[in-house]
Amino acid sequence: MEKLKWGIVSSGKICHDFVNALNDPSGPAAAGNTVVAVAARQLDRAKTFAENHKIPKFYGSYEELAKDGNVEVVYIGNTTGQHYDVCKMMLEAGKHILCEKSLTTSISLTKELFELAASKKLFLMEAVWSNFFPTYKELKKLISAGHVGEVTRLEASFGIRISGVLRLTSKELGGGASFDLGIYVINIARLVFGGEQPEEVIARGGLYPSGADSDWDVILVFSGGRRAVLKCSSKFELDNTARVTGTEGCIEIPDPFHCPTSFKSSLGHEFTIQLPNQAEHKYNFVNSEGLAYECAAVSEAIRAGKLQCEEYTTEDCLYNTRLVEEINKQIGV
């Protein structure tokens, strides 16, 4: 099997982790994928990244990467505020795309990109990696099978003290707790409640001086009074766990709930995985080894001629983006 050829947009920490996971020979992505180029806004940073990861080509602009005919798919890991422009450029250049969340800063821009990708028959996905973890797949299967009965409540929180990171606090850069952290608690709510639209969204939160959101508490009310109680913060540490409560029992997902290696239910079901463990370099973020699951699924979908992955579809992205937009509206972003 010929390997799918990736280009990397940006040379930051998450891009390091993605390439490190892709290349791990013990993971599911290495056999079918290879990185052939990287681009950064500063040529010396792209060169250093390329040397560290043994990437043959490096560029000092994203435009040069877009023109590289050897690149079939790009991983975009720059700041959220740049995603729309870079995604549009890459789609116009005929590249498939896996773009870090959030895909854009609004539902209208997100729809526009998906329409452009569809018109060109190109794959485009927001990189919500949680859904590709074997743990999330098992969780979804258990809930669908009625393991805990009818789900009546979800509690999920994600909070990390990272208010000193400019890309998270600057509205101009596309920052905000919703785009970086809140997306994960919203995403698990969609999974747990089977994609059902909430009947009511109640949000309260705080803002940074730039106008980007810093933290919030949200209640999603579903049919029959079922609720998701969600919290996120880039100012305070939270539990970073999730609890699914049903009429017959509950499921506890430990920290970090968004990329877990285990969970257990009150009915005696336990599920544990071992992450790939032969990466060449250290990771920047917890359980980034699991990025290989997402990469492998994307490459499999592209080879099959699909425009999305079943684990995280276009509609999943639009659902999450609509809720982020509604939450931000209510708290004054």
Q: What is the CATH number of the domain that holds 25?
A: 3.40.50.720
Instruction: Give the separation between CA 7 and CA 35, rounded to whole angstroms.
Output: 6
326 in any annotated domain = no
Query: Is the entire prediction scored with pTM above 0.85?
Result: yes
Helix (H, G, I), strand (E, B) or coil at 168: helix
pLDDT at 1 over 80: no
Residue 138 lies in a domain: yes
Residue pointed to by tokens 């992505």: 29
Instruction: Assess whether 142 and 210 both reside in one domain.
Output: yes
* Confidence tier at 172 by pLDDT (50, 70, 90): confident
Distance CA 322, CA 111 (A): 11
Q: Is 97 a residue whose pLDDT tops 80?
A: yes
Q: Are residues 168 and 267 in the same domain?
A: yes
251 and 144 part of one domain:
yes
Give the total number of structural domains in the chain.
2
Which of 56-60, 172-176, 313-317 is least confident?
Answer: 172-176
Domain ends where: 70, 101, 128? 128
pLDDT at 168: 82
Q: Report the C-alpha gap between 43 and 46 in whole angstroms.
A: 5
- pLDDT at position 99 is 98
Q: Are 169 and 208 in the same domain?
A: yes
- Does 43 fall in a domain? yes
Whether residue 268 sits in one domain with residue 150: yes
DSSP percent split of the chain into helix, strand, coil, nearest 5: 40, 25, 40
Shared domain check, 145 and 215: yes
Are 15 and 101 in the same domain? Answer: yes
138 and 253 belong to one structural domain: yes
Quickly state the pLDDT bin for 164 (edges 50, 70, 90): confident
What is the Cα–Cα distance from 316 to 233, expressed in whole angstroms?
A: 22
139 in the same domain as 124: no
Q: In this structure, is the dihedral angle defined by the CA atoms of residues 328, 316, 285 and 73, taken in order, positive or negative?
A: negative
In this structure, is residue 296 part of a structural domain?
no
Q: What is the mean pLDDT of residues 244-261?
A: 98
User: Which one of 102, 128, 154 terminates a domain?
Assistant: 128
The answer to whether residue 206 sits within a structural domain is yes
CATH of the domain at 250: 3.30.360.10
Facing residues of 217 across strands?
Answer: 204, 231
Take residue 170 and report the two structure tokens written for it.
């600057």
- Residue 105 sits in the same domain as residue 73: yes
Mark whether 229 and 108 lie in a shared domain: no
What pLDDT, on the 0 to 100 scale, is given for residue 142? 97
Q: Indicate if 9 and 77 belong to the same structural domain.
A: yes
CA–CA separation, 44 and 40 (whole Å): 8
User: Is 298 part of any domain?
Assistant: no
Q: What is the per-residue pLDDT across 174-208, written as a single tens digit (0 to 9) for each?
A: 899 999 999 999 999 999 999 999 999 999 999 99
Reported as a pLDDT band with limits 50, 70 and 90, residue 165 is confident
Domain that holds residue 86: 4-128
Q: Does residue 280 sit within a domain?
A: no
The residue type found at 2 is E
Of the three residues 62, 97, 128, the one that is the final residue of a domain is 128
Q: Is 322 part of a structural domain of the chain?
A: no
State mean pLDDT over 97-124.
98
